[in-house]
């Protein structure tokens, strides 16, 4: 009788365990529970499979994931981008993913991010430089600036992704993209200088008029006296 009672308790415990597994959405014995972040080893084949199906080069897909989240499926940016490929909820909605929480699922996130990347590559004729910039800054910014994005974050991001792409074994030409970034960095530096001047320089002082300080006769440099008591030939005064 005692042995039968023990067997009943074991059976009840197994049933409770199975029910808990079903509720949590994981299979019994699964290595990754709902709340755990999958390892990079688990994510690599997932990313590879989706990228191959969508026609995106594996080296590029992995370079984007590395730059966006360092393979952290739970990453959230200050701007609200979510998951492995840091997909914005508004962008995800364009691809039919309307629940932001769904973007924490690696399958959903990578599927959405790779679809978006594929569309950018198609739009920009497989120009990796422009597609990478558009993934970071948004295609609207790339289009409005005629691909001359000078955001420092976007330029740093583009360089980081291209370098990672090369380390991943990518072979598409990207030298032109890096040269373009170097030119845009210089343009951004000039823009910073102009903004500083606009912010700190009193531009009213640049509107000046010249007023002679001597009589007309002495405006001839040959007649202008030189010495400690000499006066300047002209003075600059703000226009009132």
pLDDT digits (tens, 9 = 90+) for 110-119: 999 999 999 9
Predicted TM-score (pTM) of the model is 0.67
Q: Calculate the CA dihedral of residues 64, 65, 70, 74 and round it to 10 degrees.
A: 140
The ranges assigned to domains in the chain are 40-199, 203-238
pLDDT digits (tens, 9 = 90+) for 18-62: 344 333 333 322 233 345 789 999 999 999 999 999 999 999 999
User: Could you say which of 3.30.420.10, 3.30.1330.10, 3.50.50.60, 1.10.530.10 is the CATH number of the domain covering 40-199?
Assistant: 1.10.530.10
Asked if residue 92 lies in contact with residue 160, where contact means CB atoms within 8 angstroms, the answer is no
Of 68, 101, 111, 153, catalytic: 68
240 is catalytic: no
Q: Is the dihedral of CA 113, 115, 119, 121 positive or negative?
A: positive
């Amino acid at each position: 009788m005692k042995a039968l009672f023990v067997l009943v308790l074991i059976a009840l415990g197994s049933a409770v365990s199975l029910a808990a597994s079903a509720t949590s959405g994981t299979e019994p014995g699964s290595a990754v529970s709902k709340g755990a972040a999958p390892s990079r080893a688990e994510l690599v084949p997932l990313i590879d499979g989706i990228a191959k199906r969508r026609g995106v080069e594996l080296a590029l897909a992995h370079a984007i994931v590395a730059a966006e989240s360092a393979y952290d499926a739970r990453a959230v940016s200050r701007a609200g981008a979510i998951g492995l490929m840091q997909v914005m909820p508004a962008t995800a909605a364009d691809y039919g993913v309307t629940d932001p929480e769904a973007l924490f699922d690696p399958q959903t996130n990578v599927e959405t991010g790779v679809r978006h990347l594929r569309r950018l590559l198609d739009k920009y004729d497989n120009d990796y430089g422009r597609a990478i910039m558009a993934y970071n800054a948004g295609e609207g910014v790339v289009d409005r600036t005629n691909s001359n994005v000078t955001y420092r974050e976007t330029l740093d991001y583009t360089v980081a992704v291209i370098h990672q792409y090369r380390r991943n074994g990518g072979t598409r030409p990207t030298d032109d993209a890096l040269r373009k970034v170097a030119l845009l960095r210089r343009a951004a530096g000039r823009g910073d200088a102009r903004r500083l001047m606009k912010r700190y320089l009193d531009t009213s002082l640049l509107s000046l008029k010249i007023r002679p300080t001597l009589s007309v006769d002495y405006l001839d440099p040959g007649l202008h006296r030189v010495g400690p008591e000499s006066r300047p030939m002209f003075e600059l005064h703000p226009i009132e």
